[in-house]
A and B are shown apart, each in its own frame.
Chain A
Amino acid sequence: MINFLKEFWEFLRERKKYWLFPIIIVLAVFGILIVLSQGSAVAPFIYTIF
């Protein structure tokens, strides 16, 4: 994972597209929440967000 983040950061620097970074973070956080929420105790948390 660390390697991936390093490579992705290098990519953003090379392309000068730092603004993509927050979008990725939000997408990743929601992605993780959705995966965790499938039949788990985190599910109610998701409903409160939406």
Chain B
Amino acid sequence: MDKIKNLFTVTSSPHIKAADDTRSIMLTVLFALIAPGIMSIVYYGLRPLIVILVSVASCVAFEALYCLLMKRKQTIGDFSAAVTGVLLAYVLPPSVPYWIPVIGALFAIIVVKMLFGGIGCNIVNPALAARAFLMSWPVIMTTFPKVFSKLSLGVLNAADVVTSPTVLTVLESGPKAAVLPSLLDMFIGEANGCIGETSSLFLLIGFFILVVRKVITWHIPVFYVGTVAVITFIFPMYGFSNLDFMLYNLLSGGLLLGAVFMATDYVTSPITRSGKIIYAVGCGLLTVFIRYFGSNPEGVCSAILIMNILAIFIDKITRPKRYGTGGGAVNVK
């Protein structure tokens, strides 16, 4: 019996684990991100696909390189760098030169993620922080090609791109003057903007995949979008009807991409149920305020980044009430 003695593994309980680990969760997120990406290829040709691939490859490579140089355990196997890569590409216009995602990946992975300690330790969402950083090239980052304008795959000159302002910019000139896409077109995808923003429909499908696979709960996306919906419905601007203004706001400017895939990032959102709700409402309020009063028509990126910073403080004020001290507890003599 002594021979087989040492073959058994001894650990603390529990001895069974749920099927989902970080890797499988990240793969599910990648799966949910496929559909919105395909829509961008439908509208702009293969160029966005190359941007996505460059971004993912750079993110994974930078993380691998960092672990190698710092003699740390290799962490690319959890696929979180790949998710950051896709998300980074999704918040870039499809016409960006290919060095933009590389610079973005460098900032997202090295500065925002790895220098803070790797997965789980970053304060802000790496992809969004990289987007904010890339705003240092404002022309590149705010040039949006028209949908169905096939982009060439090589070096793009500004003159080659048939540009079109985004819906949020057009919105400011009112319902009559502007050439607005119909709401249905916007829902299905014919709204120009960043790579991942094109199709509200496919972003919603992504939302359902994440909720059904229990990667996220519905709270953050619903409260985020809900807050934006309520305020834009009550306070329409530029002469729009309440409903139109609300719907154009919901379907444009990366709100759904941000609410479903960015604001729900585990690491940078609060950990408690009630904290998530406060955080999502905060994201919604900031988004609307920036859209109403800011010089930038878009507000999602800054709103989420600001709430990211507040997340751990929200955790502190939303600790679950201790068991046996809430309503219905027994008062023991």
A in complex with B: no
**B interface vs A, CB < 8 Å?**
none
